[in-house]
Chain A
Amino acid sequence: MNLDLIKDILVATVPLLIIFPSLFAFTTWLERKALARIQNRIGPNKVGIPCTRISLFGLGQPAADGIKMIFKEDIVPRGADRLFHLLAPILALIPAMLVLCFLPLDFSFFAFWDEGIAEDIKAVQSFALDGAVIFFFAITGLNTLAIFMAGWASRNKYSLLGGMRAIAQMVSYEIPLVLSAVIVVMYVGSLNAEKIVLAQDTLWFVFTPWGLAAFVIFFIAALAETNRSPFDLPEAESEIIAGYFTEYSGFKFALFFLGEYIAMFAISGLAVVLFLGGSLGPGVTVELVDGAKELESAFAGLPIIWLLAKIFALIAVMIWLRGTLPRLRVDQLMAFAWKFLLPLSILNILVAGFAYFIPQENIGPKVAVWTVSLGILYAAAKGLNSLNRADVKPREYKYAE
């Protein structure tokens, strides 16, 4: 084994393993404080720097939670499948961390520390697979396996049912997720994440009508894929205790939690890359170098700052939605996926396809095509909405009067 290979492996993986778990810790703190403020209370504000009385707005709370979870007793139900009980949280975590490799993260800010390392990282990070987007979806599909394993290995019929419902939800929402990403792939002509970012130099895809519809569908499906409110029926905290991971305690539960949040980061990252222009922003531009497009930034580290800023904006919207919306019932959830999002995403592909092939050189046809497509998509959404409307009547009391 040559040392270069080991160095390459370490350089490619260690930044990810350091940055994203610490972002995870920060996100749990942010979520608890933000949800608390939305619900008219203060979140955790006592734990700051450990062993002192300095409470920095509760920023030490994630560390305290982590330490608590490590020291908890690990309970495995009697008669449960011990091997699967152990493997399920690991299998939930691995796909989430693996797909982080496919995002076009640019670690050239290491140049502040050492020029040599920056060159090595750049050489390894041109990891840009030609099929990055489809690898992303393939590996996100492995989450369903982990949930099934968790539900099955608990030897608890309610966990198994919860796991089945969770799998049904995730499989149904994968289709609108992939179909709305197809539009971007169609426009760019490549599955490569870097090329998709470079193709958005003039206009981010979210500002086109079909791109906006695709972004909304992608975001809703991403909420459902990561079992986030309002689609968190499988782990409805106040209702079924924890659904498919009821029987997990201590560190295994922490691993599930970690896997869920990192999956949130990964899918937000993909949404940012596909629709919101990835690392582009003020200070980061696309230049033509030797006939090929390349990313130029004002100073090293700005692209990843923009990417993380946009990911955090999306995560803030996810937390906001969690504090706002009530949970969907399972039949409402499935109806929403199959009867609303799926037809809308197929129609979106058609509309985007037509708009791609109609020549829009001048401003006149462009405006016309855009307004017509916006109108078609909005009318379709309203139509599907009224088709699926459930009839609710006001509550009537049988025994009074």
Chain B
Amino acid sequence: MSILGAGIFKGMAVTLKNFVGSYFDKDRLTTNDYSWRPDDKLPQNAGEYPKEEGEQLSDTTTVTKYSRNFPMLLHDGGEPMDTVRCVACQICERECPPQCIYIEKDYDENGKYIKRPAVFDIDVSVCMSCQICVEVCPFDAIVMNSQFELSTPNRFGGLLLRRDDLLKSNDYYHQIHPEEASARDQKMAEEKAAKEAKKKAAAESAKKRAEEKAKAEAEAKAKDEAGGKTEDTE
């Protein structure tokens, strides 16, 4: 039995801690990393906006490892489209509440479905950063990026991120969210190990069954021959 209104008081304690802490602990102010510098100068990139089409500034060095903004697709190094984890299963497209993801599957020359997305668009002007797509992805292919300088002078498509804009490597993911990335890698390794173990166990049991079947057949054949021989002599 909890005290009536305990949740409200706990919430108020958290906000009080935030209020008092923001005076002493400058790391809390995630978006204001320059206003308290002693010489009051802005860092290199702040205030510069992309002047050409397609240019995006990287600004992820100024936020903490807890900040999230919009999703990105992961690949495991090398040529992005060779090691991309996304298989275009379209689960995130269906679960997205504002329906901001658009996916098209990739087919090879014969028309067979390859496990890659041909088109993967996210409209970040619609995305509400709810992270449902991250939660439901069965392949750990989509995670949250923390890049926030996304402003563009292009009104009509500047905020539609295409597949190639969204592909980022796993090393970059480790750089911006180290704890979460290592947790995710560990989970994937465990799942893979479990799958390998299961496959090996299945292979072993299959082999054992095959051996037993072979032995049984051999015995049956031996009995047959023995029986046949006796039949012959009759």
By the criterion CB–CB under 8 Å, are B29 and A40 in contact? Answer: yes
Residues of chain A within 8 A (CB-CB) of B15 are 38, 320, 323-324
Residues of chain B within 8 A (CB-CB) of A368 are none
A1 part of interface (Cβ distance < 8 Å): no
Candidates B1, B19, B132; contact of A34 at CB < 8 Å: B19
By the criterion CB–CB under 8 Å, are A40 and B138 in contact? Answer: no
Map CB proximity to A onto B111-136 as digits: 1 under 8 Å, 0 otherwise: 00000000000000000000010011
Number of B interface residues in the complex (CB < 8 A): 25
By the criterion CB–CB under 8 Å, are A41 and B32 in contact? Answer: yes
By the criterion CB–CB under 8 Å, are B28 and A40 in contact? Answer: yes
A325 part of interface (Cβ distance < 8 Å): yes
Residues of chain B within 8 A (CB-CB) of A18 are none
With the chains together, A323 CA to B15 CA distance in Å?
Answer: 7
By the criterion CB–CB under 8 Å, are B22 and A37 in contact? Answer: yes
Number of A interface residues in the complex (CB < 8 A): 22
With the chains together, A212 CA to B44 CA distance in Å?
Answer: 55
By the criterion CB–CB under 8 Å, are B35 and A400 in contact? Answer: no
Q: Which of A85-93, A194-202, A262-270, A378-386 forms part of the interface with chain B?
A: A378-386
Q: Which of B14, B22, B31 is the most central at the interface, judged by chain A CB atoms within 10 Å of its CB?
A: B22
Residues of chain A within 8 A (CB-CB) of B4 are 378, 381-382, 385
B16 part of interface (Cβ distance < 8 Å): yes
Known: A382-B4, A400-B138. A37 touches B23 (CB 8 A): yes
B205 part of interface (Cβ distance < 8 Å): no
A357 part of interface (Cβ distance < 8 Å): no
A241 part of interface (Cβ distance < 8 Å): no
By the criterion CB–CB under 8 Å, are A400 and B91 in contact? Answer: yes
A138 part of interface (Cβ distance < 8 Å): no
Candidates B12, B28, B35, B135; contact of A321 at CB < 8 Å: B12
Residues of chain A within 8 A (CB-CB) of B43 are none
With the chains together, A401 CA to B35 CA distance in Å?
Answer: 47
B47 part of interface (Cβ distance < 8 Å): no
By the criterion CB–CB under 8 Å, are B29 and A320 in contact? Answer: no
With the chains together, A45 CA to B23 CA distance in Å?
Answer: 14
With the chains together, A8 CA to B15 CA distance in Å?
Answer: 47
A71 part of interface (Cβ distance < 8 Å): no
A299 part of interface (Cβ distance < 8 Å): no
Candidates B1, B12, B35, B91; contact of A399 at CB < 8 Å: B91
Candidates A41, A378, A385; contact of B31 at CB < 8 Å: A41
Residues of chain A within 8 A (CB-CB) of B29 are 40-42
Residues of chain A within 8 A (CB-CB) of B16 are 320
Residues of chain A within 8 A (CB-CB) of B95 are 397-400
Map CB proximity to B onto A37-73 as digits: 1 under 8 Å, 0 otherwise: 1111110010000000000000000000000000000
Residues of chain A within 8 A (CB-CB) of B28 are 40
Find residues 119-174 in chain B having any chain A CB closer than 8 Å to their own CB.
Answer: 132, 135-136, 138
Candidates A39, A40, A45, A382; contact of B35 at CB < 8 Å: A45
Residues of chain B within 8 A (CB-CB) of A34 are 19
Residues of chain A within 8 A (CB-CB) of B32 are 41-42
By the criterion CB–CB under 8 Å, are B11 and A37 in contact? Answer: no
With the chains together, A42 CA to B31 CA distance in Å?
Answer: 9
By the criterion CB–CB under 8 Å, are B19 and A325 in contact? Answer: no
By the criterion CB–CB under 8 Å, are B19 and A37 in contact? Answer: yes
With the chains together, A45 CA to B15 CA distance in Å?
Answer: 21
Name the CB-closest residue of A to B16.
A320
Residues of chain B within 8 A (CB-CB) of A399 are 91, 94-95, 136
By the criterion CB–CB under 8 Å, are B91 and A37 in contact? Answer: no
Candidates B12, B18, B91; contact of A40 at CB < 8 Å: B18
Map CB proximity to A onto B30-74 as digits: 1 under 8 Å, 0 otherwise: 111001000000000000000000000000000000000000000
With the chains together, A34 CA to B20 CA distance in Å?
Answer: 10
B183 part of interface (Cβ distance < 8 Å): no
With the chains together, A397 CA to B30 CA distance in Å?
Answer: 32
With the chains together, A401 CA to B138 CA distance in Å?
Answer: 8
Least CB distance from A221 to B in Å reads: 16
With the chains together, A164 CA to B191 CA distance in Å?
Answer: 56
Residues of chain B within 8 A (CB-CB) of A45 are 35
With the chains together, A38 CA to B15 CA distance in Å?
Answer: 6
Name the CB-closest residue of A to B8.
A325
Name the CB-closest residue of A to B27.
A40
By the criterion CB–CB under 8 Å, are B19 and A38 in contact? Answer: yes
With the chains together, A321 CA to B94 CA distance in Å?
Answer: 37
With the chains together, A90 CA to B4 CA distance in Å?
Answer: 41
With the chains together, A160 CA to B30 CA distance in Å?
Answer: 40
Least CB distance from A392 to B in Å reads: 13
With the chains together, A45 CA to B36 CA distance in Å?
Answer: 11
Residues of chain A within 8 A (CB-CB) of B31 are 40-41
Residues of chain A within 8 A (CB-CB) of B19 are 34, 37-38, 323
Name the CB-closest residue of B to A40.
B28
Find residues 175-201 in chain A having any chain B CB closer than 8 Å to their own CB.
Answer: none
Residues of chain B within 8 A (CB-CB) of A397 are 95, 132, 135-136
With the chains together, A248 CA to B233 CA distance in Å?
Answer: 115
**10 closest cross-chain pairs (CB), A and B:** A399-B94, A400-B136, A37-B22, A324-B15, A324-B11, A38-B15, A37-B19, A38-B19, A400-B91, A40-B28
- A-binding residues in B (CB < 8 A): 1, 4, 8, 11-12, 14-16, 18-19, 22-23, 28-32, 35, 91, 94-95, 132, 135-136, 138
Beyond the given A325-B8, A397-B95, please list 14 additional residue pairs across the A-B interface where CB-CB is below 8 A. A37-B19, A37-B23, A38-B15, A40-B18, A40-B30, A320-B15, A320-B16, A324-B11, A324-B12, A324-B14, A378-B4, A397-B135, A399-B136, A401-B138
22 chain-A/chain-B pairs, Cβ below 8 angstroms:
A34-B19, A37-B22, A39-B18, A40-B18, A40-B28, A40-B29, A40-B31, A41-B29, A42-B35, A45-B35, A320-B12, A320-B15, A321-B12, A323-B19, A324-B8, A381-B4, A385-B4, A397-B132, A398-B95, A399-B94, A400-B91, A400-B136
